[in-house]
Amino acid sequence: MIPSRLYGCSQRIAIAAVFAAQPICCPASNPNWQAAAQYAARTAPDARILILDIASNRLLASHHLAEAAHTLAAPGSTLKPLVLYQLISASRWSADHRIACDRNLVIGGRTLACSHPPLPPFDAREALAWSCNTYFAQVARSLGPGDLGRLLRPTGLLGITGFAANNGATEAVPEFREPSNAQATQLALLGVEGIRVTPFGLAAAYRWLAIETAAHPDSTAAREVRAGVADSANFGMASAANAGGVSVAGKTGTAEGAASAQTHGWFAGFSPAVDPRVVIVVYLPSGRGADAAHVAADLLGHAGGARQ
Residue 1 burial (10 A CB sphere; 0-12, 13-18, 19+): exposed
- Minimum mean pLDDT range among 145-159, 239-253, 256-270: 256-270
Q: Which of 197, 211, 178, 183 is nearest to 78 (CA)?
A: 197
User: Which pLDDT belongs to residue 38?
Assistant: 96
- Would the CA dihedral through 253, 18, 207, 292 be positive or negative? negative
- Residue type for 139, please? V
- pLDDT tens-digit readout, 109-140: 999 999 999 999 999 999 999 999 999 999 99
Long-range contacts, stretch 181-184, CB < 8 angstroms, 24+ apart: 182/140, 182/141, 183/107, 183/108, 184/108
- SS3 call for 122: strand
Average pLDDT over residues 51-70: 96
Residues 128 and 81: beta-carbon distance below 8 Å: yes
What span, in angstroms and rounded, lies between the C-alpha atoms of 201 and 219? 25
| Upstream peptide bond of 179 is cis (omega within 30 degrees of 0) | no
* pTM given for the model: 0.90
Domains of the chain are: 28-304 (3.40.710.10)
